[in-house]
Amino acid sequence: MRRFLIISMILFISTNTASAFTLPKPKDEPKFIQSEQYQNITNQANIFYAENDIKSAFNLFLSIPEEERSPQNWLLLGNILQDQGKIDEAIFMYNKAIQIDEKYYKAYYNLGNIYLQDGRPNMAIEQYKKVIKLNPEYAYAHYNLGCAYIKLGKYGKAKYELLTATDLKNTVPDFHYNLAYVYKQLKKEKLAKQYLEYYNKLIQDQI
């Protein structure tokens, strides 16, 4: 985790790619079912992925025919490609996950992260809003939405999202750091100082 103890132009963005997670589908919507043969391959690939044997995981996921790949398969393929800097390929994988399950919110989240890091905050905002609609309590989506608004200089909207993030998850130092930054931009020096002090406290607690 990057650590800064004074207000600066640094903007912390949560860049963790989404882990495997699926929201339940409505009963009237057909659920993707992977055949047992490929479920076994998926399970082994997930083990490799968890053990950071990325090459083996990637090859196993690719060995699954496209029509048998679950949203999770596509998501983890996208994660691997994103980590390798293959952004266009990662975007393709995340969109494939969404095609299978339009409620698979972590694929939207990862797309938002790519767009935000790539200097496309408006596109990132669109993705994060989809995440929040599907899972209003996902703190990191509110946080990164706030970061996107900071990129656009929309500090009032950024403040709202960052405050929501801290309400949902109060122990993440970067949430408080960026709130301090936003309040400084809004000329609220006292509040900026308060959030910076809390950021420093959380950092010290982690040492």
Q: Tens digit of pLDDT for each residue in 70-116?
A: 999 999 999 999 999 999 999 999 999 999 999 999 999 999 999 99
pLDDT band at residue 17, thresholds of 50, 70 and 90? low
CATH of domain 37-102: 1.25.40.10
Mention every residue, 6+ apart, whose C-beta is less than 8 A from residue 21: 72, 104, 105, 106
Is the model's pLDDT at 42 over the cut of 90?
yes
Q: State the pLDDT at residue 12.
A: 62
What predicted TM-score, i.e. pTM, was given to this entire model?
Answer: 0.84
| Average pLDDT of the residues in 116-144 | 97
* Gap between the terminal Cα atoms of the chain: 11
Q: Is-same-fold flag (37-102; 124-207)?
A: yes
Is the model's pLDDT at 13 over the cut of 70?
no
Residue with tokens 């698979």: 104
Residue with tokens 């972590």: 106
Q: State the pLDDT at residue 82.
A: 96
Average pLDDT over the chain, rounded to whole? 88
Helices H / strands E in the chain, number of each = 10, 0
Is the model's pLDDT at 4 over the cut of 90?
no
Cα–Cα dist 130/99, whole Å: 14
User: 144, 124 in Cβ contact below 8 A?
Assistant: yes
pLDDT digits (tens, 9 = 90+) for 143-184: 999 999 999 999 999 999 999 999 999 999 999 999 999 999
Cα–Cα dist 128/114, whole Å: 11
Q: State the pLDDT at residue 28.
A: 44
Cα–Cα dist 192/198, whole Å: 10
Q: Which CATH architecture has domain 124-207?
A: Alpha Horseshoe (1.25)
pLDDT band at residue 19, thresholds of 50, 70 and 90? very low
* Domains in the chain: boundaries: 37-102, 124-207
User: 168, 149 in Cβ contact below 8 A?
Assistant: no
Residue with tokens 């992260």: 113
The 8-class DSSP code of residue 31 comes to P
